[in-house]
């Protein structure tokens, strides 16, 4: 796994994220621009720790992280998934090699995973944040 995006909940922070969202990471600028045009919060608006803070211990992450209401992110991931499913050309395939995988299918799977996670966090009242992992 190279650089990726994790969705981390406050109550289960130390468990990390079991899913590799590298397709989302590679298209993050496009996804954020798409969010703006669709009128929903961007994925980047849920980042809990600035990149400049680098690698931190879980204890430091708990102290420094900005947490978000997961219900606010449900619309973001639901809207992105639906729009890209109906308009696959809305996101350009990056130059990075994703093997023999259909990139847009992979991206839709990752968005579905994120939607499932934030929906669960919202149902449990568990704050979350997006984290960039290298």
Asked whether the predicted pLDDT for residue 56 surpasses 60, the reply is: no
pTM assigned to the model? 0.87
DSSP one-letter string for 28-91: HHHHHHHHHHHTS--GGGGB-S-GGG-S--HHHHHHHPPPB-THHHHHHHHHHHHHHHH-GGGS
Whether 25 has a pLDDT exceeding 60, the answer reads yes
* For range 51-63, the mean pLDDT: 59
Q: Kindly tell me if the per-residue pLDDT of 16 is higher than 50.
A: yes
């Amino acid at each position: 796994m190279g650089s990726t995006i994790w969705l981390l909940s406050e109550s289960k922070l130390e468990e990390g994220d079991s899913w590799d969202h590298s397709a989302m990471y590679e298209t993050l600028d496009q996804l954020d621009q798409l969010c703006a045009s669709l009128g929903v919060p961007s994925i980047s608006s849920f980042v809990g720790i600035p990149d400049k803070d680098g690698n931190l211990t879980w204890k430091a992450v708990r102290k420094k992280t900005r947490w978000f209401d997961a219900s606010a992110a449900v619309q973001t991931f639901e809207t992105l998934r639906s729009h890209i499913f109906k308009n696959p050309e809305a996101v350009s395939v990056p130059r990075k090699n994703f093997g023999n995988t259909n990139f847009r299918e992979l991206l839709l799977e990752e968005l579905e995973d994120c939607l499932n996670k934030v929906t669960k966090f919202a149902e449990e009242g568990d704050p979350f944040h997006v984290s960039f992992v290298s």
